[in-house]
Structure 1
């Protein structure tokens, strides 16, 4: 968020700052202690310590004891002790050594502490480690009793415990909320009745958030209300409740289902301690990976078709032993093509794969999850094939991943393409406006074919970071057709589930909110009120401009979400998950299995399945902190690039105001780094705006430096060892993820500064001609950009009803028309014949997909009529990679004669036999 001044970073009302900001605050304290020791300026240190103490009470380490020791040293005027202790704490936080080394928790440095581990333990011998977490205890006892309470909890620790945790004690609902948001180490929460509402600290922004949640007076500070709030922002946490009242009645309350277990008073502390450890163990267990590790340690005789299993063909070879030395023996010991002997089948999971998928469904907020080992391209095709039949209509973003288009070909469904808003200046598209989607539905209804519209298929978030208001899209579309299926391709957005800010914008997050709204008694009244306002026969114009509310009694909630787990979590490449929340799944389950049989490999990679299992474990136990760090790193990159005087002359990262047109930012939100922006107006944008920008996806404009996207991507990779993914005509996409660190930020900024410096020096030393050439290059990249072509229409030969007002077409017939070699022709792009036919006919009809990279969307699909704007765009393209187009042969087109035959009954291949006389 925007941090206008240094003190503003430390106020609790800027409560979401991330782990990097906390580390900076501790380093600032150490520097203040050094200044105190050097020049005797203690006031700066006292202020820094007071600011830090406000938020540090929400963490287990350094905890109440060490913070008290810091205050005592300062009060005694002991600068040397203050510096030594602050330095030790800062180092322990940076290396995370406090999780394993008891010496870090002592106020005195005895000099016998173990050296912190800076290198991952797999790089050398290491002792067993117990994973560390923190447990939040919300209580009504006075703060003077908190140290004693924490000490009582520590007495419950046992050497045989698989995990170790530190208590964090707070005394109010607001402080519990702050601790939950600030502290990613919290993995369990104990809620004891009797706490108050208000924080001990002044928190203006926090007050506005709690007020918007309806928390206005002390009566709102109930244990159950707090449990519901925490479960909403961090659903992965285990919640436990201690009550002095009628626990039987409380346990039977349906609203208490967010709590894992309820205890009466404090009569069973050991039982509560064991319950906490059991809850962590449940998330820690990885059924498939755990079993695979056991399998690898068993003596197995392999008489199946996988020679590398057990690794003997590798390690006994003189020629490929280096492969075994590189990967290690476990990779081969854990390989098998068997689905018995403790292993499971991906095609018919009944054992540990099934259990792993059930845990993934819990983590992702879905009813069920399917593991996919062929990438999300396969997940998308599986979903399309299972849910659509020949002749069904699907409203599809024309700029979606090619797997969706090919899925329509396989299913025989007819795509009704809708267009995203163009960003011509940067040669990219945004997302599809809701009005456009509603128009397509209303047009189908007017044509009497709404019953054939089965699915809406959209990409969320887009490659460039545009995020839909998923709940609003689904609700308004369900108001027109209550049984629509939604397929959300969230290949790049899987991490968003573990951010309380972005979760609401995911398919599963929105589906769960809609489901809860449907069960709210007020929902029917809200719907009927709008119906009365609209009248009996509202015009399409009125429906288009109204925020439509669906009938909760009619909705059949059917939502599918695909995630490239390998793109945003710790899974091996091609690891994907397909999440389902579909009340009608029982009606499509068999055909879904058939889609799995069609697309899934019968020889899936065991290590890939294990990585999907492991990635779920990691995100459930530490995903919240990892995603917060990724977002913080992205904001640091944005700020560093755009505020650096040299770098910003030639590069800039586009803000939300540049990426999302104003008409789709109804809240007035401009950008994450704009002055005055905090989490209150950001949350307002996330709730209200039609489109938001994923903060982790950064469009870095390089055209101002005279580089096109492809060229700059090559420079970064070949000269500076920086890898980026997507490019456009004048930009590259930089994205942060759970793998990035502050060191990565420093490396990127250093490289951009070096390149900007080279450009600067080249212009200064090259004279007027160099500057003129440079300005012409920048103009060609930033100003003389080609217009982006929209989808035109399918040729009438590929339309069942050419008189229809809607624009769907039989893409499957168009695709297979290309198989008729004699029925196709090629015309080179610069051949005057193209221009003649555009003016005089016959029409140019594409025989295949044509997809330039960049920008990566299909500008032609099979059966599409090619227009002048499409040809103009292709002629202006300066990219070398265009899938489906061979520059030597030219565009592949369906001949007019072949088009005329399509749809006619084909003559029988066998002559008819005469009847016997």
Structure 2
């Protein structure tokens, strides 16, 4: 496996590598046909593909056999023609809707063009959705083609979908096929298959070994079903058995099986079950109902004139809006919640069903659709889970919605700090030791009972993902009923990647649930307790990987997703996911939070897009996320390995973004020498922090651009949009929408920019080079230290503990509503410097949030320090929320502080 092996071993590039490898085969075939190459090179390249091609339905046995025969008979022209046909069909996906593509004797005419364009407005495209079903059996491979033909004969014109079988004969091949072929969304298992593959290919070991699926002692279909659902939980798995199916169906471990069939019964039932399983995921209750509603004649006498579109299309002045958006947008609008529609505030019909289906897809017990963005989701969760006087341990750098949620509820935030990345003017994530230290400090103060919530961002804007399971388990070992709120606004897609799912709140919660049910968990806990002794020191607890008591744990996990940020939802579409054994105790509060924050006129199209986004991710999310990862890795490689681009720009790797102490596996970067799928999996399983590969921090300060300036250049001059910057970097995000054409465009733009820099430095002489060097030094070396949270002033500490830093942020926030209690002090000037030296202390009256970096460097009631003022003065960003340059810093007046302190 020459060059292909490197791609396969990395695994994360396997899907794009397949297309590239077929293009390579085509190039070799063309060269052979023209007399410029050798048959042996063509044979070697094809042999390198065969182990992987068995895991895909197309090109299939017939076309591969024909290609081998043409090579064997020295038919170079025929081999080149067939190789090109296969490669083009894979590229255009023509085989999905054109049955002739599967027939070696029926080729596309020279005048025919593959249907690669999206359907016109109002059309459905006319093509039934295509998928592949994996059949795992013990029949000899010589019988597989006949078996595939039998399956094909079960198709009927009225079937809503069309599928092709992929047939394998072992446990290993089943796992590999499921991982390497994202088109597989249904699996049929027949008992009696062996463990080992009939192939001896490196691809098997490179994919399987890192997953730990190497125990060949248990080859049962139930074990395989559990393994398949572990890597891809969205799969439908069916079991065919010729023994006691009733007993198998009742097995407690059979929960991974959708349905059990007696093997000798009518195969049509199996075919219909496969289609029904896909239909269950394909259904979108709200969107389906909205389409029906739009087709009905409706008389509207409610307060939404735009509904049905008459006011638009009958107008001479705004008809262009209707022509731009299309009639269906207006036909599907309504402010009614009756007549077949449903209420988002109190759903009982199709919205409720859609939310239940989303809960199934995302591994939650409950899901709330939110149409005001994840800012609202966060405030809903905080309001429902916290009451005045409760304490929440909060990442100080989390999104402002969490801070404002604390203001609304009156809860007391106990701010914990993330590790700094000073060189890039950004923060990482909060170390576990910092979190544990906060919990132990509260326990020492006798205030642990008031701690209700741990509130963290995962993954961060810049891609830091926590070891979520470890964080929750160790915190539960200190406080067994602690509630967790994970803001996963940027990583909702991670659910559909076996590579990233364990680092999500719902993925980790499922693993903890399984561990809690295992009798061995009690033994593990009791052994650790014996090792620690009756009164372990805080130092021992900080340095030990703590195990919670499974008999006491109350698993209460909440996760917010900006569905619109990583899935096909309209802007502001969000979901709030719940897995809480005590949800019944806060359910009424949650409904109150919904009533508080949700609009009484939610956008119907937003709700529909959330419904559709769930459908897409259940049916093709695995492949889409893998593509996003591949795109990101190609961007990283294109930037860091290009001889010109890499002179001025650099994509940061894990070693740049995460300090070594938090990378216990030693992982440095996805594209570092020696990095493989195995090393990436090891890092994902072991490291305290892990870098989401789809988030690419590109240093632009070395090219003389600050982040805001470079962002503007890309948008205004080249039509490339991004939104997050730092002092000397920009963040590129790959998502399920990106293609390799996007990568090519980005590379060409960066090359053009680099040529411009080279020309300017060459033409400008020594003076220009000195100016450029000074600019780079200013951006890359003369960076301000990042300020940590100082403290709440004593007047806003409320009843906080003696040694713990929580404060009454609500009182500080509303204190500023009285203008007579506030003053403004210029940021630049003698007064600010004098107050820092001599006092009285400067106390912030409001939030101050610079963009970038986007975290609050001042919160209401915070005592300002030299560190914070220095950072503010060195900021060169235009947008600072809560700061008026003309007036200065908004502070609580010293006399107001004194008066409040005396009360």
Q: After superposition, where does 1:144-223 map in structure 2 within 5 Å?
A: 144-204=142-202, 206-207=204-205, 210=208, 215-216=213-214, 218-223=216-221
CA distance in 2, matches of 1:829, 1:241: 70
**Alignment partner of 1:84 is 2:81:** yes
Match of 1:363 among 350, 361, 364: 361
Does residue 328 of the first structure (1) align with residue 326 of the second (2)? yes
| Contact 2:12 2:630 survives alignment (8 Å) | no
Shift of 1:895: 1.1
* Structure-2 separation of matches of 1:325 and 1:640: 41
Distance 1:125 1:611 in 2: 18
Q: In the alignment, which residue of structure 1 is the partner of 2:524?
A: 526
Aligned to 2:94: 97
CA drift of 1:69 comes to 1.2
Offset of 1:863 from its aligned partner? 0.2
Q: How does 1:638-653 map to 2 (within 5 A)?
A: 638-653=636-651
Please, what is the CA RMSD of the aligned residues?
1.5
Matching residue of 1:435: 433
Q: CA deviation at 1:71?
A: 1.1
Task: Give, in angstroms, the shift of residue 68 of structure 1.
Answer: 1.2
The TM-score with structure 1 as length reference comes to 0.97
1:370-409 matched pairs, under 5 angstroms: 370-409=368-407
Contact 1:561 1:580 in 2 (8 A): yes
Are the counterparts in 1 of residues 11 and 676 from structure 2 also a CA contact under 8 Å?
no
Once residues 724 and 697 of structure 2 are traced to their aligned partners in structure 1, the CA distance between those partners, rounded to angstroms, is 9
Instruction: State the partner residue of 1:841.
Output: 839
Per-residue deviation at 1:246?
A: 1.2
- The answer to which of 56-65 and 35-44 deviates more is 35-44
Q: Using the alignment, how far apart are the partners of 1:127 and 1:587 within structure 2? A: 48
Shift of 1:203: 4.3
Which SS does the other structure have where 2:540 is aligned?
A: helix
Aligned to 1:535: 533
- C-alpha distance after superposition, 1:691-740 (max 9, x if no partner): 00000000000000000000000000000000011000000000100000
Shift of 1:75: 1.1
Name which of 561, 566, 577 aligns with 2:575.
Answer: 577
CA contact (8 A) 1:647 1:753 kept: yes
Deviation at 1:148, TM superposition (A): 0.7
Match for 1:28 among 24, 28, 31?
Answer: 24
Q: CA deviation at 1:821?
A: 0.4
Scaled by the length of structure 2, the TM-score of the pair is: 0.98
Please report how far the alpha carbon of residue 289 of structure 1 lies from its aligned counterpart in structure 2 after TM superposition.
0.2
User: Distance between the aligned counterparts of 2:602 and 2:376, measured in 1?
Assistant: 13
Native 8 Å contact 2:700 2:707 kept in 1: yes
Rounded to whole Å, the distance in 2 between the matches of 1:871 and 1:16 is: 44
Whole-Å separation in 2 of the counterparts to 1:214 and 1:642: 32
Q: Counterpart of 2:761?
A: 763
For residue 678 of structure 1, report the CA deviation from its aligned partner: 1.0
How far 1:209 sits from its partner (Å)?
A: 6.5
Q: Distance in 2 between matches of 1:901 and 1:307?
A: 55
State which of 3, 7, 10 in structure 2 corresponds to 1:6.
3
User: Equivalences for 1:729-740 in 2 at 5 Å?
Assistant: 729-740=727-738
Taking a change above 3 Å as real, the CA distance of residues 537 and 281 of structure 1, as seen in their structure-2 partners, is same
Tell me the secondary structure at the aligned position of residue 514 of structure 1.
helix
What are the Cα deviations for residues 122-162 of structure 1, in whole angstroms up to 9, with x where unaligned? 25866522100000000111111110111111010001100
Which position in structure 2 is the counterpart of 1:66?
63
* Deviation sequence 1:803-845 (CA, Å, 0-9, x none): 6111000000010111110110000001211111112111100
Task: Indicate the residue corresponding to 2:816 in structure 1.
Answer: 818
Aligned residue number for residue 661 of structure 2: 663
* Partner residue, 2:503: 505
Q: 2:492 aligns with which of 491, 494, 514?
A: 494
Q: Deviations over 1:266-306 (max 9, x none)?
A: 32211010000000000000000000000000000000000
1:106 equivalent to 2:99? Answer no
Task: Tell me, yes or no, if structure 1 residue 138 matches structure 2 residue 141.
Answer: no
Offset, 1:896: 2.1
Contact 1:18 1:629 in 2 (8 A): no
Any conservation in 2 of the 1:15–1:178 contact (CA below 8 Å)? no
Distance 1:306 1:695 in 2: 44
* Structure 1 residues 331 and 519: alpha-carbon distance in aligned structure 2, compared to 1, 3 A threshold: same
8 Å CA contact 1:190, 1:242 repeated in 2 = yes
CA distance in 2, matches of 1:213, 1:60: 25
User: Is the 1:205–1:680 contact (alpha carbons within 8 Å) kept by the matching residues of 2?
Assistant: no
Mark the CA change 1:785 to 1:71 in structure 2 (over 3 Å): closer, same or farther. same
The Cα of 1:106 is off from its aligned counterpart by 1.0
What runs of 5+ residues in structure 1 fail to find an aligned partner?
A: 906-917
2:13 is aligned with 1:38 = no
Listed as ranges, the matches of 1:891-906 within 5 Å are 891-902=889-900
Q: Distance in 2 between matches of 1:453 and 1:409?
A: 16
Give the 3-state SS of the residue equivalent to 1:122 in structure 2: coil
Q: 2:255 aligns with which of 254, 257, 260?
A: 257
Shift of the alpha carbon at 1:14? 4.7
**Residues 706-721 of structure 1: matches in 2 within 5 Å?**
706-721=704-719
Aligned residues: 901
- Where does residue 413 of structure 2 map in the other structure? 415
Distance 1:609 1:36, change over 3 A: same
Are residues 103 and 205 of structure 1, via their aligned partners in 2, closer, same or farther at CA, if it must alter by over 3 Å? Answer: closer
Structure 1 residues 803 and 220: CA distance shift in structure 2, 3 A: closer
* Alignment gaps of 5+ in structure 2: none
Equivalents in 1 of 2:537, 2:895: separation in Å? 43
When residues 562 and 127 of structure 1 are mapped into structure 2, their CA distance, relative to the original with a 3 A threshold, is closer
DSSP 3-state at the match of 1:885: coil
CA, structure 1 residues 844+156, in 2 after alignment: closer, same or farther (shift >3 Å)? same
2: CA distance between counterparts of 1:772 and 1:314? Answer: 59
For residue 50 of structure 2, what is the aligned residue in structure 1? 53
The 2-side partners of 1:96 and 1:148 are apart by 25
The DSSP-based 3-state class of the residue aligned with 2:723 is coil
The aligned residue for residue 307 of structure 1 is 305
Post-superposition offset of 1:19: 2.6
Relative distance call for 1:134 and 1:209 in structure 2 (3 A) is closer
Q: Report what 1:909 is aligned to.
A: none
**C-alpha separation between the residues in 1 aligned to 2:657 and 2:210?**
29
Q: What secondary structure, in the 3-state scheme, does the structure 1 residue paired with 2:322 have? A: helix
State the alpha-carbon separation in 1 of the partners of residues 792 and 271 from structure 2.
Answer: 65
Provide, for residues 642-670 of structure 1, a one-character-per-residue CA deviation record: whole Å limited to 9, x for no partner.
00000000000000000000000001111
Q: Residues 314 and 217 (structure 1 numbering): CA distance in 2 closer, same or farther, change over 3 Å?
A: closer
CA 575–214 in structure 1, closer or farther in 2 if over 3 Å, else same: closer
Alpha carbons of 1:112 and 1:753: their partners in 2 closer, same or farther (altered >3 Å)? closer
In the TM superposition, 1:666-745 aligns within 5 A as 666-745=664-743
The answer for the alignment partner of 2:880 in structure 1 is 882
DSSP-derived class of the 1:626 partner: helix
Distance of aligned partners of 1:470 and 1:807 in 2 relative to their CA distance in 1, 3 Å threshold: same
Cα–Cα, structure 1 residues 294 and 511, in superposed 2: closer, same or farther, change >3 Å? same
Do the aligned partners of 2:210 and 2:678 also contact (CA within 8 Å) in 1? no
Q: Quickly say closer, same or farther: Cα 1:61–1:395, change in 2 above 3 A.
A: same
Query: Aligned in 2, Cα 1:528/1:208: closer, same or farther, shift over 3 Å?
Result: farther
Q: Structure 1 residues 369, 432: closer, same or farther in 2, change over 3 A?
A: same
1:119 offset after TM fit, Å? 1.3
Distance change in 2, residues 1:468/1:537 (3 Å):
same
Residue deviations 1:459-498, cap 9 Å, x none? 0000000000000000000000000000000000000000
For residue 211 of structure 1, report the CA deviation from its aligned partner. Answer: 5.7
Q: Deviations over 1:490-545 (max 9, x none)?
A: 00000000000100000000000000000001000001110001000000011001
Please give the alpha-carbon distance, in whole angstroms, between the structure 2 residues aligned to 1:741 and 1:232: 28
User: Post-superposition shift, 1:8?
Assistant: 2.3
Q: CA separation of 1:204/1:106 partners in 2, compared to 1, >3 Å: closer, same or farther?
A: closer
Query: Which residue of structure 1 lines up, in the alignment, with residue 317 of structure 2?
Result: 319
